[in-house]
Chains A and B, each alone.
Chain A
């Protein structure tokens, strides 16, 4: 009987097929309602363990949102869902009003305008710093175009400015694999900037950075918000306090509290979850 299931799908008269509803390959991002990301009732389980549990979260366009939560709260898993790495069991995820993230592949999502910095820095170690930025640069991604691609003056300037911003100008021809942990963090932030995404997902950006670098990162992220939307996951509470307007606390896969840093910190549920940890 189970073999008939796919057939039954075809006989349902009220069903609209994907092929009729062309998957919006690169539809324009529509944030006319002021919300750039809609996550609704998202659940993800790994072997019965619920990493995300009916998670509902909205991000406003131009917002800088900080997400905190104890280890294993599901912060990284949430980013995996948004970027197409993990498919949720239930729920919906929209980028603006029109782009259904659950129907797009990872590269489609990236091209639609969502950029991501990973928790542990992941750069192309066998490529130079310059090449890492070049490959991340916004623009066409087709095979034939890349065979003939040449950097024009404007693009070179763009790379130069990002090199300067990330303090890596002197290391442009160094292999990315030879960088220190903090430098790799910067390079990955630079790669994110090169992509010029509308929504930046930044997972633990300041781990391994010196206090001065942390401060610079804070400035950078604050300056990006407004034109772009930024979601930052961080354990460093000082850092979060210095940049956050709105903080969301995740716990066991769903939202525990949301509000300003002060509101969140005085919330008894949050205090309980963080018992023993300093908030």
Chain B
């Protein structure tokens, strides 16, 4: 092994078994669930329903959001409490494309205007809705819209050296401001109701089970790619620099790194990743509305990462899936209790599991050996 291997990969190596397991499990899930859906008849106990596919697919997009948060929080110490704003923007970009695909199948049958615009007596399409009839354009906007917002917001925040809890608070304010804006009908994003009643994506019927399978597999592969790209980033020298910024920002400046540039780059990349997650989320749940901007959602996403264990990337995936599974269960069995359960969970994890579930597993393993 060369020196280079040591310096660059020593940190990756230490948890390399984890990443191999993760890749293996994710690929298995990407293949086995669709097979269970397609091969076994609905009566069979091995059958996987479209509902389950949609649910797990949704979890995968949440997991990708969690990975994007872990990348900046776990590796660079930037705690964003507004990251679902980027998720929602990606979701709206996809939603706008899906709205334009409805065409004359809407309630009012207008070939150009989505139903809510006809309802508001608008006679033409707002300028920012142009282009969204083309998938490639929407796909570009899925990363560009969150990326640009992160660029502008991050530029001001990092340039003014807003750090720590102050940064977290202004990200909450950001997502709250967007929540209020998107609620307004005049904004032209469907107001309160958001965008829904989607029919098809790239010509595929969104209700068809083959489309559901396709969306599920795409989400799983996007999550896999997201984790691997983030892994590549944190294992590069760039990754060591952002960790240095996390541990001692001013020291990093004194050896000549422009800390603001590093943070800004990372923040934008993370926002784009969150945007992609949002874009995959929307066709699977069939709706995007301003509720996605709610500040509590961003906090929840941070809890996923804390529960899974930050600074590992796949810990974020584990946390997102565990917490959302618990949430699905709770909201059915005992809906009022969920927010309390979430709060208690966060406190417990912070106090007793600073490295999350993965840290706990590692501790068990060490105790065994």
Contacts and interface: CB of A to CB of B under 8 A. Distances in A.
Interface size class of B (residues with CB under 8 A): 20 to 34
A134 B7 contact: yes
A135 B251 CA distance: 11
A34 interface: no
A234 to B, nearest CB: 20
Contacts of A147: 233, 236-238
User: Could you say which of B237, B244, B251, B255 has the most chain A C-beta atoms within 10 Å of its C-beta?
Assistant: B255
Interface in A6-28: none
Contacts of B256: 107, 110-111, 141, 195
B253 interface: yes
A127 B240 contact: yes
B240 A131 contact: yes
Contacts of B241: 135, 146
B262 A85 contact: no
Contacts of A83: 254
Q: Which applies to chain B's interface (DSSP): helix, strand, loop or mixed?
A: helix
Contacts of B7: 128, 130-131, 134, 151
Contacts of B252: 135
B85 to A, nearest CB: 24
User: Could you say which of A85, A115, A131 has the most chain B C-beta atoms within 10 Å of its C-beta?
Assistant: A131
A5 interface: no
B4 interface: yes
Nearest to A152: B4
A127 B243 contact: yes
B244 A124 contact: yes
A169 B252 CA distance: 23
Contact of B253 (A106, A115, A126, A134): A106
B248 interface: yes
B330 interface: no
Contacts of A173: 6, 10
Contact of A124 (B248, B261, B262): B248
Contacts of A151: 3-4, 7
A147 to B, nearest CB: 5
B251 A124 contact: yes
Contacts of B255: 110, 115, 135-136, 191, 195
Interface string A130-144: 110011100001110
A127 B262 CA distance: 18
B236 A148 contact: yes
A125 B246 CA distance: 11
A106 B250 contact: yes
Nearest to A114: B254
A151 B3 CA distance: 9
A85 B250 contact: yes
A123 to B, nearest CB: 8
Interface of A: 83, 85, 105-107, 110-111, 115-116, 118, 122-128, 130-131, 134-136, 141-143, 146-151, 156, 159-160, 172-173, 191, 195
